[in-house]
């Protein structure tokens, strides 16, 4: 996929905006929810579960940079993308003090069962979702990307679409996609062999996670029986490790989700 810049108009408020709200997740603060313009409680919407970077929280994607909501509003208004719900929970348990990468790696791993068994059912109860895996995507930035790979390992019954953004798979340890690329790819392949799913991994060649994610993606190409036609990998020349850059990936890749 060619990664195009976000039009300037998409960085400003939309005339026909959606809205943000939240709901409690027991033990994990609240999840931030984006509802599209004209959200209809009797409608049927796909859901994108979006996980913040290390040290962040459920507000990171929507408030620290502010512009994600404008971007979603414009994509939907211009019909580049069908209306969808975005749910942004946090993987840090209430009261978490230590948000180092090492601890975060454990938190994101342990959060995936909470996401699948608590956050997804709460979302399906509260909102007019299409409650099947073909209409659920999970993605995240940095540690949220690490989380997304854990979701792929364990969650293909719940999710079909996976969008790891500038984060590698840590099943072989911290930054294991770089240090243990072949082993990581083999574990992922064994976990999802015979299953149907789609991965769109994105990063930039100046991103601090690139040296960890890129070897993993190259190693995954050696398992075409499992990943062929199911995994797409896009690299933005000059792309760095921050939320504004991640918004570019969301602009480009999110409209391709929920399409056969
Ligand atoms: C990576 C995956 C995640 C990486 C960094 C992170 C440097 C996250 C770090 C953090 O949240 O502090 O491959 O490479």
The residues lining ligand 1, judged by C-beta closer than 6 Å to any ligand atom, are 53-55, 101, 104, 142-143, 146, 167-168, 175, 208-209, 212-213
Q: How far is the CA of 167 from the centre of ligand 1 (A)?
A: 6
Q: How far is the CA of 142 from the centre of ligand 1 (A)?
A: 5
Local structure of 49: helix, strand or coil: strand
Q: How far is the CA of 224 from the centre of ligand 1 (A)?
A: 27
Could you identify the atom of ligand 1 that is nearest to the CA of residue 208? 7
Could you identify the atom of ligand 1 that is nearest to the CA of residue 213? 13
Residue nearest to atom 4 of ligand 1 (CA): 209
Beta bridge partners of 136: 47
**Predicted local confidence at residue 225, as pLDDT:** 97
Beta bridge partners of 85: 47
Q: Which of 92, 102, 107, 167 to mutate to test the pocket of ligand 1 (most atoms within 8 A of CB)?
A: 167
Q: How many residues does the chain have?
A: 260
Q: At what angle do helices 181-192 and 210-220 cross, to 10 degrees?
A: 50
Query: Which residues, other chains included, contact 187 with Cβ-Cβ below 8 Å and sequence gap of 6+?
Result: 153, 169, 171, 172
Phi-psi region of 96 (alpha: psi -120 to 50; beta: other; left: phi over 0): beta
**Predicted local confidence at residue 260, as pLDDT:** 62
Phi-psi region of 36 (alpha: psi -120 to 50; beta: other; left: phi over 0): beta
What domains does the chain contain, in order, with CATH numbers?
A: 8-256 (3.40.50.1820)
Strand residues in the chain grouped as ranges (E): 19-24, 30-35, 47-51, 85-88, 136-141, 161-165, 198-204, 231-236
Residue nearest to atom 6 of ligand 1 (CA): 142
- Report which of 119, 196, 186, 128 is spatially closest to residue 156, judged by C-alpha positions: 196
pLDDT(119) > 70: yes
- 54 token code pair: 């290390």
- Please give the angle made by the CA atoms of 11, 79 and 62, to the nearest 5 degrees: 35
**Predicted local confidence at residue 64, as pLDDT:** 63
Q: How far is the CA of 168 from the centre of ligand 1 (A)?
A: 8
C-alpha to C-alpha distance for 170 and 102, rounded to whole angstroms:
10
**Predicted local confidence at residue 37, as pLDDT:** 98
- Report which of 58, 66, 72, 2 is spatially closest to residue 30, judged by C-alpha positions: 58
Q: What is the pLDDT of residues 208-259, one digit of tens each?
A: 999 999 999 999 999 999 999 999 999 999 999 999 999 999 999 999 999 8
- State the residue for tokens 């979006």: 50
**Predicted local confidence at residue 41, as pLDDT:** 98
Per DSSP, 180 falls in state T
Q: What is the pLDDT of residues 5-34, one digit of tens each?
A: 999 999 999 999 999 999 999 999 999 999
Measured between alpha carbons, how far is residue 238 from residues 241, 242, 247 in Å?
A: 10, 12, 14
- Please give the angle made by the CA atoms of 207, 212 and 213, to the nearest 5 degrees: 80
**Predicted local confidence at residue 63, as pLDDT:** 83
* Mean per-residue pLDDT over the chain, rounded: 97
**Predicted local confidence at residue 65, as pLDDT:** 64
Local structure of 34: helix, strand or coil: strand
Q: What is the pLDDT of residues 148-182, one digit of tens each?
A: 999 999 999 999 999 999 999 999 999 999 999 99
Q: What is the pLDDT of residues 29-62, one digit of tens each?
A: 999 999 999 999 999 999 999 999 999 999 999 9
Residue nearest to atom 1 of ligand 1 (CA): 209
Could you identify the atom of ligand 1 that is nearest to the CA of residue 170? 2
């Amino acid at each position: 996929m060619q990664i195009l810049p976000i039009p300037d108009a998409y960085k400003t408020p939309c005339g026909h905006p959606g809205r943000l709200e939240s709901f409690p997740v027991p033990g994990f603060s609240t999840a931030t929810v984006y509802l599209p313009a004209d959200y209809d409680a009797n409608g049927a919407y796909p859901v994108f579960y979006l996980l913040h970077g290390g040290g962040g929280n459920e507000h990171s994607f929507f408030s620290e940079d502010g512009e994600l909501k404008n971007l979603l509003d414009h994509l939907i208004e211009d019909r580049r993308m069908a209306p969808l719900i975005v749910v942004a929970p946090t993987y840090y348990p209430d009261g978490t003090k230590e948000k180092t990468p090492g601890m975060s790696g454990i938190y994101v791993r342990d959060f995936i069962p909470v996401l699948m068994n608590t956050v997804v059912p709460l979302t399906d109860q509260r909102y007019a979702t299409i409650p099947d895996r073909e209409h659920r995507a999970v993605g995240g930035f940095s540690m949220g990307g690490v989380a997304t790979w854990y979701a792929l390992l364990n969650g293909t019954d719940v999710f079909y679409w996976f969008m790891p953004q500038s984060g590698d798979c840590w099943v072989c340890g911290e930054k294991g996609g770089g240090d243990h690329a072949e082993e990581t790819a083999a574990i992922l392949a064994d976990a999802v062999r015979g299953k149907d799913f789609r991965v769109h991994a994105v990063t930039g060649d100046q991103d601090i996670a690139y040296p960890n994610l890129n070897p993993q993606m190259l190693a995954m190409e050696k398992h075409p029986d499992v990943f062929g036609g199911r995994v797409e990998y896009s690299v933005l020349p000059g792309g760095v490790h921050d939320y504004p850059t991640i918004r570019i990936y969301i602009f480009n890749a999110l409209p391709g989700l929920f399409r056969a």
